[in-house]
């Protein structure tokens, strides 16, 4: 495992950047990509692009894309008692939110905690065992009342999970951190973009607002030229007790995940099989996503980018969209090894080499 890759991932996950607040991640990437890029630019929605020439020149480059944003919370009401009602920016299960620490990146990292109804106020055990509903939760920033709270926070302000309270944790095999979806993809792309030589021309794209509707990817697919695309992502690994077979979705330690279908995309089966064969030939572990669930930016690249081949290649991530998401280093190594091989295959078969 590359020390650089792990360093990039640690530094990227330490940056709070919910959808629409990606600028700090973009600055980080620009600083590191600038020495290596043949062309480095942004578009008007905030996507960042790094074009690098490779050994094989193509009529149009292979696109490798990852999104910079993470899930978050948006204030939608400041209550009379000073607590804050909120909605989610991206998909977050309400059940994980009680007692979680949050911060507001645009408010000098003002911090708060998500409070829930006290257990002694539940009417009976039946009510206690009901799923948590977001409408029953509120963020407490320690304000005495509404006027006091509005000195610090307004409706529309966005919060992220608190990095200090949920720090990076690394063991021999595992990494636990916030925003692994999709700083994993960003770190893998950055690591590859900085290599001395690439197999073919590659357009590295770091997109905005994926968690709230693939907005950056939708713009990219209509404005940029590329021959085929790989969305580099994190995906749900539910390989936990009582989750077997398709319920597990995928398994940590068995390599990067190729999707055949999800809620946004039906992938080219022959292409997926070709990549599995490529992994097998190079003795690198790789697996198929077992459940039609979730979605990613491949949907935008397939629907709006013309007649393009697309692939989703993901890291199995436990507790995704939570402050304690977890990945396996062996899976990151698999993805790091296979990404340039996959890019070379796409360039050879769809890039129309010059």
Is 328 found in the same domain as 236?
Answer: yes
pLDDT at 117: 67
Is 49 found in the same domain as 132?
Answer: no
Residue 167 forms part of a structural domain: no
Is 119 found in the same domain as 45?
Answer: no
Residue 28 forms part of a structural domain: yes
Range of the domain at 107: 72-161
Q: Which regions of the chain does DSSP assign to beta strands (E)?
A: 39-42, 48-52, 62-67, 72-78, 84-89, 101-104, 110-115, 138-140, 158-161, 169-170, 174-177, 202-207, 228-236, 256-258, 286-288, 309-317, 325-328
Is 121 found in the same domain as 194?
Answer: no
Selection from 217, 236, 207, 175 nearest residue 69 by Cα: 207
CATH number at residue 100: 2.40.30.40
pLDDT at 308: 84
Strand partners, 121: none
Strand partners, 313: 232, 258
Order of all β-strands in the sheet with 286-288: 39-42, 48-52, 202-207, 62-67, 228-236, 309-317, 256-258, 286-288
pLDDT at 304: 87
pLDDT at 129: 65
pLDDT, tens digit, for every residue of 38-48? 999 999 999 99
Which residue among 133, 161, 189 closes a domain?
161
Other beta carbons within 10 angstroms of residue 133's beta carbon come to: 11
pLDDT at 135: 83
Residue 146 forms part of a structural domain: yes
Q: Which residue has the tokens 């636990």?
A: 176
Residue 25 forms part of a structural domain: yes
pLDDT, tens digit, for every residue of 121-162? 666 666 666 677 788 899 999 999 999 999 999 999 999 999
Is 186 found in the same domain as 275?
Answer: yes
Is 253 found in the same domain as 142?
Answer: no
CATH number at residue 192: 3.40.630.10
pLDDT at 127: 61
Residue 199 forms part of a structural domain: yes
Is 42 found in the same domain as 91?
Answer: no
Residue 227 forms part of a structural domain: yes
pLDDT at 14: 96
pLDDT at 132: 73
Is 193 found in the same domain as 131?
Answer: no
Is 80 found in the same domain as 35?
Answer: no
Is 128 found in the same domain as 44?
Answer: no
Residue 173 forms part of a structural domain: no
Strand partners, 103: 111, 160
Is 184 found in the same domain as 266?
Answer: yes
Which residue among 126, 161, 196 closes a domain?
161
| Residue ranges in the chain whose pLDDT is less than 70 | 1-3, 117-130, 353-354
Angle between helices 180-193 and 23-33 (to 10 degrees): 20
Number of domains in the chain: 2
pLDDT at 10: 96
Residue 291 forms part of a structural domain: yes
Is 153 found in the same domain as 93?
Answer: yes
Which residue among 117, 133, 161 closes a domain?
161
């Amino acid at each position: 495992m590359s020390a650089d890759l792990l360093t990039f991932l640690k530094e990227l996950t330490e940056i709070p950047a919910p959808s629409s607040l990606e600028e700090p991640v973009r600055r980080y990437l620009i600083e590191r990509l600038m020495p290596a890029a043949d062309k480095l630019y942004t578009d008007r929605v905030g996507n960042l692009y790094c074009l690098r020439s490779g050994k094989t020149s193509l009529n149009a480059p292979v696109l490798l894309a990852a999104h910079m944003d993470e899930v978050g919370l948006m204030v939608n009401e400041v209550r009379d008692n000073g607590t804050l009602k909120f909605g989610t920016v991206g998909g977050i299960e309400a059940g994980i939110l009680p007692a979680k620490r949050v911060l507001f990146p645009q408010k000098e990292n003002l911090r708060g905690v998500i409070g829930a109804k006290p257990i002694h106020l539940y009417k009976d055990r039946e009510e206690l065992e009901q799923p948590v509903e977001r409408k029953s939760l509120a963020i407490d920033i320690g304000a005495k009342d509404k006027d006091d709270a509005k000195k610090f926070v307004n409706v529309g302000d966005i919060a992220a999970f608190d990095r200090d309270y949920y720090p990076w944790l690394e063991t021999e095999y595992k990494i636990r951190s916030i925003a692994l979806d999709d700083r994993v993809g960003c770190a893998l792309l950055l690591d590859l973009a900085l290599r001395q030589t690439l197999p073919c021309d590659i357009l590295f794209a770091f997109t905005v607002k994926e968690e709230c509707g693939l907005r950056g990817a939708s713009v990219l697919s209509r404005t940029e030229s590329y021959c085929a695309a790989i969305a580099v992502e994190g995906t749900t690994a539910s390989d936990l007790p009582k989750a077997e077979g398709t319920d597990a979705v995928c398994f940590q330690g068995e390599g990067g995940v190729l999707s055949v279908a999800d809620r946004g995309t039906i992938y080219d089966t022959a292409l997926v099989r070709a990549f599995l064969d490529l992994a097998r030939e190079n003795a690198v572990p790789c697996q198929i996503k077992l459940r039609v669930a979730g979605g990613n930016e491949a949907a935008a690249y397939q629907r709006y980018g013309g007649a393009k081949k697309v692939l989703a290649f993901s890291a199995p991530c436990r507790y995704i969209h939570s402050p304690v998401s977890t990945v396996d280093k062996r899976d990151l190594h698999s993805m790091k090894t296979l990404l340039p091989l996959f890019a070379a295959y796409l360039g050879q078969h769809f890039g129309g080499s010059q």
